[in-house]
Amino acid sequence: MKQLFILPILACVFTTWIYAQDNQPVTASDLKTWCFYLANDEMKGRKNGSPEMKKAADFIAESFGKAGLKPLSAEAGYFQEYVTNRNKIDITERNVIGMIEGSDPVLKKEWIILSAHFDHIGIGKPIDGDSIFNGADDNATGTITVMALAKTLQSSITRPKRSILFVAYSGEEIGMQGSKWFKGHAPMPLDQIKLNLNFEMEGESATLGKNIYLLTGHQFTDFGDLLDEYNKKTNWVRAKKFKSPPWVFMASDNATFAINRAGEKPVLSIPAFSIVTTDDMNFIHKVTDEPDRMDYENMASLVSYLTNLVLFLSADPLDIHWNQEAFDNFNKH
């Protein structure tokens, strides 16, 4: 009889410690299916302005809908449309945006943005008979990470305290047009954005190893310390040694928020970083960036880790500081 009493107590402690409870976990097989959809040859490298980008945006919006995210607006649904000019040609593109309202009456006015770009560079010169730049790791894997988090966070019994915005950007490969448009037309005041976690290249585990990621911009912030402290109770770690140069911090949509270029010198502003699981840039913008190279088991583990991390961060004070001096010194070189 005693054991019967102990079990519910243990279960209670266990769920508190685990923190989140996914009603609908995302499996490696789900991630593989999604990645093969976005990075299949039929998507022709998801070039901005192409019909395949429309298909990709519809696919992401459908997954946000299935997850149960609130759309950006009643009229536009999950889409934020904009027009940008590339080589004197107007390109109409869309960002895909959904949200979860925070559960805390005060903190819900503050936002954590989870983002990834879903465009790539299209078709180029054939190399060994292959001309399609599939963009599997750049950045179908980041996109499906955001799709997966929409599902796991929306179905989590523990509710995020701050509001969470999920955004898949188009236009990254043509000068971060999607994130720039979003920043200029954001659905919240920019000073209410407490953190942006951007996802780039989450599918490769051969170089850094399994259950390890790098944080871009870690040289200019104390946010890495917060992650390291949190990671002590998880099976994921942040890489301390890697080859990727500091400029990768400026090479994705997080930079649109992290760096304010309005004045004479670039000033660090909103805490915004990319999480990357590879240290191998050899496949980037190559026809060999194919979906069959990705480690979907590692990605499923990452999604589970990130679900708990985002729930934790949604309730954390998020006292994150930049080191402007370190950034200035870096920019001098």
User: Which residues of the chain form contacts with Zn ion (CB under 5 A)?
Assistant: 138-139, 200
* CA pair distance 15, 308, nearest whole angstrom: 12
**CA–CA dist 160, 75 (Å, integer):** 26
Q: Do the beta carbons of residue 133 and residue 45 sit within 8 Å?
A: yes
At its nearest, how many Å lie between Zn ion and the CB of residue 156? 28
Token couple for 99 = 């949200």
Closest CA to 307 of 148, 117, 143: 148
CA distances from 220 to 140, 233, 287 (A): 27, 25, 33
CB of 102 to Zn ion, least distance (A): 29
For residues 181 and 158, give the distance between their C-alpha atoms in angstroms, rounded to a whole number.
32
Backbone φ/ψ region at 134: left (φ over 0), alpha (ψ -120 to 50), beta: alpha
CB of 119 to Zn ion, least distance (A): 9
Q: How many residues does the chain have?
A: 333
Tracing tokens 């995302």 back to the chain, one arrives at 26
Whichever of 22 and 172 has its CB closer to Zn ion, that residue is 172
Show the tokens assigned to 196.
């942006």
Measured from the CB of residue 330, what is the shortest distance to Zn ion in angstroms? 21
Q: Identify the bridge partners of residue 195 per DSSP, sorted by sequence position.
A: 112
Nearer to Zn ion, 289 or 316 (CB): 289
Q: How far is the CB of 326 from Zn ion (least distance, A)?
A: 24
* Least distance from Zn ion to the Cβ atom of residue 85, Å: 21
Q: Toward Zn ion, which CB reaches closer, 30 or 138?
A: 138
Between CA 227 and CA 208 the distance in angstroms is 17
Nearer of residues 67 and 215 to Zn ion, judged by Cβ: 215
